[in-house]
Amino acid sequence: MFYYNGDRYVGSWVEDKREGDGHYTYANGAYYKGQWKADEKSGVGVFDWHDGNIYEGEWKNNKRHGKGKYKYANGESYSGEWAEDQQHGKGIYKFQDGNTYEGHYVKGERTGEGIFTFANGDKYEGQFMDYKFHGQGTFHYAEGNRFEGRYANGKRHGKGTFYYTNGSKKDVNYNNGELIEQCAKNALI
């Protein structure tokens, strides 16, 4: 089927609606190849935006919904759960700089429990809100030391403890990322 705007569809039809397997090519070169239901992308399919961005996975009512993988033109990728065209549920995001996030998403944002691993080997495990460290978390340094404590809006906030590889620890207190108090001298654990 050819459309006046230059789009083209090749595939199954039921009662004048796309149904079953089909390939829809847009005039700009983008395409969707996969399953259709009642004239909407539904089931499993691939959408290539013809600009380097590609989604492969489940669809429902013309939206990414279920499990799928999105490859971005810049080399980044997301693999995980989708709902209503947004990252939602558990997923893994790989950044082009080598950083990785594995954890929960809510309506397209890193929110809930997750692990952010930096390319240099540092790692944060804990709670996120709106893409930022927020709540209780542990920051592991690549050399083996770690900080356990509270975060707010991506910054250390409140009481926490540094644990060192030599067995010592230091209790500290932060306000909006600024160290305001060392609660105790270094002590062996």
Q: What is the pLDDT of residues 151-164, one digit of tens each?
A: 999 999 999 999 99
**Residue whose structure tokens are 């990785």:** 100
Residue 171 CB burial class (10 angstroms; 0-12, 13-18, ≥19): middle
Q: What is the pLDDT of residues 136-155, one digit of tens each?
A: 999 999 999 999 999 999 99
Q: What is the pLDDT of residues 26-82, one digit of tens each?
A: 999 999 999 999 999 999 999 999 999 999 999 999 999 999 999 999 999 999 999
